[in-house]
């Protein structure tokens, strides 16, 4: 693969802005003479480069992704630069199908959006829920899977509904779609919200009874439970919400063009079952079946 990892917590990304750039390929022309080939007629300066790009059916471009990289099954960026999780596999497949040059940078969840706003990244790739406030400000691709926001408790607890959580502490992953809902419920029902940057840390605290409940995605809970045999969680019967998951891009002409090409390749991957297999691997179910119309 051609992906290059940029050491890109936000400060580093700012230093590298002038060198990296975003959007369509803006690299210099150094070395291009070495890549030119002669046609059968012996002439240089042909459309060889253009033809190579058109073979894929996609524009030739460089795409800079930003991800939080904090944990599987969604996106985990290791210290050695290894990227794993759903979005890592999604973008490995997208890169192969389109021929794009993909670069990756890392930023905290809140800082990812600043990377889009300042044109230091083209796409937020973080298994991010589609919410009205996000689509108002950013372009969203078609969804590539669906999920549900839920509340879990330890199976031995007496809590059955959010009404039972008055005076208790409920954890939630910072920036997740459940956060706004659970914070509104906290004000209404009288419980405290504790935010976590990592869902696994929060659910571990729930197991250890440091908090009383946790608001998260169904898929994340299933993945954590699968990998932690001691986890014995019970879901509240009523979900907080169902949501689609998509990639987000700036609301610019360049962002719109890239979104349209991303929509095309995502639809291909939905149609041929590629995304279903990726979600089954990481979340133990075909989450494309939960996409909301």
Each domain of the chain, given as residue ranges in start order, spans 4-28+47-145+245-290, 147-242
Alpha helical stretches, state H, the chain: 10-20, 32-35, 48-54, 86-98, 109-117, 132-137, 178-189, 199-207, 218-227, 253-271, 274-283
Which architecture does CATH list for 4-28+47-145+245-290? 3-Layer(aba) Sandwich (3.40)
CA-CA distance, 217 to 177, in Å (whole number)?
9
Tokens (6 digits) for 155: 């199976």
What was the pLDDT predicted at 113?
Answer: 97
Q: Which CATH code fits 147-242?
A: 3.40.190.10
What was the pLDDT predicted at 209?
Answer: 97
What was the pLDDT predicted at 139?
Answer: 98
pTM of the entire predicted model: 0.66
- Higher-scoring residue by pLDDT: 31, 249: 249
Helix (H, G, I), strand (E, B) or coil at 278: helix
CA dihedral 219, 114, 96, 280 (to 10 degrees): 0
**Tokens 């060889």 sit on residue:** 48
Residues 74-91 have pLDDT tens digits of 999 999 999 999 999 999
What was the pLDDT predicted at 33?
Answer: 37
Residue 284 has pLDDT above 80, yes or no: yes
pLDDT band at 21 (very low <50, low <70, confident <90, very high): very low
End-to-end CA distance of the chain: 34
Q: Hey, do 4-28+47-145+245-290 and 147-242 end up sharing a CATH topology, with the first three levels equal? A: yes
Helix (H, G, I), strand (E, B) or coil at 151: strand
Residue 22 has pLDDT above 50, yes or no: no
DSSP secondary structure code for residue 62 in this structure: E
């Amino acid at each position: 693969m051609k992906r290059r990892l940029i050491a890109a917590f936000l400060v580093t990304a700012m230093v590298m802005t002038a060198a990296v750039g975003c959007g369509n390929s803006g690299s210099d022309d150094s070395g291009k003479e070495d890549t030119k080939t002669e046609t059968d007629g012996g002439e240089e300066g042909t459309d060889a480069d253009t033809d190579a790009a058109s073979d894929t059916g996609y524009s030739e471009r460089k795409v800079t992704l930003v991800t939080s990289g904090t944990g599987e099954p969604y996106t985990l960026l290791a210290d050695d630069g290894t990227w794993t999780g759903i979005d890592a596999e999604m973008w490995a497949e997208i890169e192969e199908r389109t021929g794009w040059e993909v670069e990756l940078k890392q930023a905290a969840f809140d800082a990812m959006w600043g990377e889009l706003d300042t044109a230091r990244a083209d796409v937020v790739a973080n298994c991010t829920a589609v919410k009205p406030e996000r689509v108002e400000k950013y372009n969203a691709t078609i969804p590539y899977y669906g999920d549900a926001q839920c509340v879990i408790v330890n199976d031995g607890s007496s809590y059955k509904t959010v009404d039972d959580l008055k005076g208790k502490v409920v954890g939630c992953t910072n920036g997740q779609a459940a956060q706004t809902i659970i914070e509104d419920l906290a004000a209404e029902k009288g419980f405290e919200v504790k935010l976590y940057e990592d869902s696994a840390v929060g659910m571990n605290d729930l197991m250890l009874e440091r908090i009383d409940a946790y608001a998260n995605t169904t898929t994340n809970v299933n993945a954590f439970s699968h990998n932690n045999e001691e986890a014995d969680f019970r879901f509240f019967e009523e979900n907080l919400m169902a949501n689609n998951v998509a990639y987000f891009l700036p609301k610019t002409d360049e962002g719109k063009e890239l979104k349209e090409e991303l929509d095309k390749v995502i639809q291909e991957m939905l149609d041929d079952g590629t995304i279903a297999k990726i979600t089954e691997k990481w979340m133990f179910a075909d989450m494309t079946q939960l996409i909301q119309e």
